[in-house]
Structure 1
Amino acid sequence: MSEKVMLYETQFFGFTPQTCMMRMYFAFQDHLFHMMLVIEEVILKKLESMRYAKLTSSSIRRCSEKFLAYMRNHFDQLFGKMEQLLLQVVLTIPENVLLPEDKCQDQYRYTESEFQELQEEIQHMEHLIKTEVSAQQALKAELEEQKATQEHLERICQWFDGLNNVCREHGTSNLKESFDFLKGNAAKLQTVMQEVEDKSKKLNKK
């Protein structure tokens, strides 16, 4: 059996030529063995009808095995020639023949160095694409954060507007004045609470 790697033929036929030849070989061998069993059975039946004492079933079997070995030996020699013919002529694709799906390679030829440069350029482009995608993702996250911050600021502005409206309803036109007024009242309240606490301590001592 040929050990030559026939990748192009395998691509075209869908199977390796060596596998095809091996299956043919085993098919012939099985057929030969089956035929020898049939012939042996016919001879044994003829022998029973003739009742020839010198020929026994065991002697017939030995003769069948010898004949089978002889046939296998000659078959192997013939099959070797047939295998060489089929693998070199029938199941092989000439070097100047291209499959339809590979004709683009003949149209766009390139050297090994050009192929390497192309690979490097592809890797560089892939790196740029990954960088661009990462940058877009970072920008998207930043925009989402800015959007959330903007919404928060809008809520604060709405709160100040509402507070300003409340102050105006109670006679204070300026928000700063309102804060000053609240601060003064808080200080007065703290002073009153301190006085109450001091008086409470004096009463407890008595």
Structure 2
Amino acid sequence: MSVSPMAYETQFFGFTPQTCMLRIYLAFQDYLLEMMAVVESVVLKKLDASPGGRVSRLDVRKSTEKFLRFMKDHFDQLFGKMEEVLLQLVLSIPPNVLLPEDKVHQQYPYSEEQFQALQDEISRLREQCRAEAAAGQALRAELEEQKAVQAELERILQWFDGLENTCREHGTSNFRESFAFLTQNSKKLQDVLKDVKEKSKKIKRGDE
């Protein structure tokens, strides 16, 4: 059997030419063994049908094996020639022939150094894309946070607007006076609440 790798042929056919030839060889060998078994069975039947025969079954088996070796030796010689013809003329691709998927290499030839530089550039661009994606994600998170802060500021501004309107309704337009007014009212409310709690406790004690 041939020992040439024939990698290009394997790429084209999808299997190694040597494997194909081995399968053909084994198929012929199996067929030869089957035929010899059939011949032997016919000879044995003829032997059983002829009374007084001097040939034993063991002699038939020895003759069959001897003939099988003879046929196998000649078959191996013929198959060697057939294999050489098939591998060179049928299952081989000429050196000047390019497969369709490899024609791009002919149009755009690259040296090993250029190919490695291209691979390095691809890796660098891939890392850059990852970094930009991470930066974009961080920017989106920051924008969401800014939106939340802006909403809180707007809520505070609305609260101040409401406070200013309340102060105007009570005749106070100065901001400090407004706070003083609110503080005074808040203290009054706290005193009233304290008084209510004390009276509530006295009422409960009286009920007891």
Band the TM-score falls in, shorter-chain normalisation: 0.7 to 0.9
Q: Is the 1:25–1:79 Cα contact (8 Å) retained in structure 2? A: yes
Q: Is the 1:164–1:174 Cα contact (8 Å) retained in structure 2? A: no
Distance in 2 (CA, whole Å) between partners of 1:52 and 1:151 is 118
* Structure 1 spans left out of the alignment, 5+ residues: 194-206
Q: Deviations for 1:53-110, whole angstroms, at most 9, x for unmatched residues?
A: 2112222112111211222222222222222222222211111110112111111112
Counterpart of 1:94 in structure 2 is: 94
Answering whether residue 104 of structure 2 is matched by residue 112 of structure 1, we say no
Distance in 2 (CA, whole Å) between partners of 1:52 and 1:73 is 35
Distance in 1 (CA, whole Å) between partners of 2:98 and 2:107 is 11
Distance in 1 (CA, whole Å) between partners of 2:157 and 2:185 is 25
Distance in 1 (CA, whole Å) between partners of 2:108 and 2:98 is 13
Indicate the larger mover: 63-72 or 46-55. 46-55
User: CA shift at 1:180, angstroms?
Assistant: 1.8
Answering whether residue 35 of structure 2 is matched by residue 35 of structure 1, we say yes
Distance in 1 (CA, whole Å) between partners of 2:99 and 2:44 is 56
Give the TM-score normalised by structure 2: 0.82
Distance in 1 (CA, whole Å) between partners of 2:121 and 2:35 is 65
Counterpart of 1:69 in structure 2 is: 69
Distance in 2 (CA, whole Å) between partners of 1:105 and 1:49 is 73
Counterpart of 1:84 in structure 2 is: 84
Distance in 1 (CA, whole Å) between partners of 2:71 and 2:176 is 118
* AA aligned opposite 1:76: D
Distance in 2 (CA, whole Å) between partners of 1:60 and 1:152 is 107
Answering whether residue 147 of structure 2 is matched by residue 147 of structure 1, we say yes
User: CA shift at 1:145, angstroms?
Assistant: 1.1
Counterpart of 2:159 in structure 1 is: 159
Q: Which runs of 4+ in 1 moved over 4 A?
A: 184-191
Counterpart of 2:198 in structure 1 is: none
Distance in 1 (CA, whole Å) between partners of 2:77 and 2:50 is 37
* AA aligned opposite 1:50: S
* AA aligned opposite 2:102: D
Counterpart of 1:181 in structure 2 is: 181
In the alignment of these two chains, the number of paired residues is 193
Give the TM-score normalised by structure 1: 0.82
Q: Deviations for 1:13-32, whole angstroms, at most 9, x for unmatched residues?
A: 12111110111011001000
* AA aligned opposite 1:34: E
Distance in 1 (CA, whole Å) between partners of 2:3 and 2:182 is 100
Answering whether residue 57 of structure 2 is matched by residue 57 of structure 1, we say yes
Distance in 1 (CA, whole Å) between partners of 2:133 and 2:71 is 72
Q: Is the 1:40–1:60 Cα contact (8 Å) retained in structure 2? A: yes
Indicate the larger mover: 115-124 or 136-145. 115-124
Distance in 2 (CA, whole Å) between partners of 1:139 and 1:166 is 40
Answering whether residue 131 of structure 2 is matched by residue 125 of structure 1, we say no
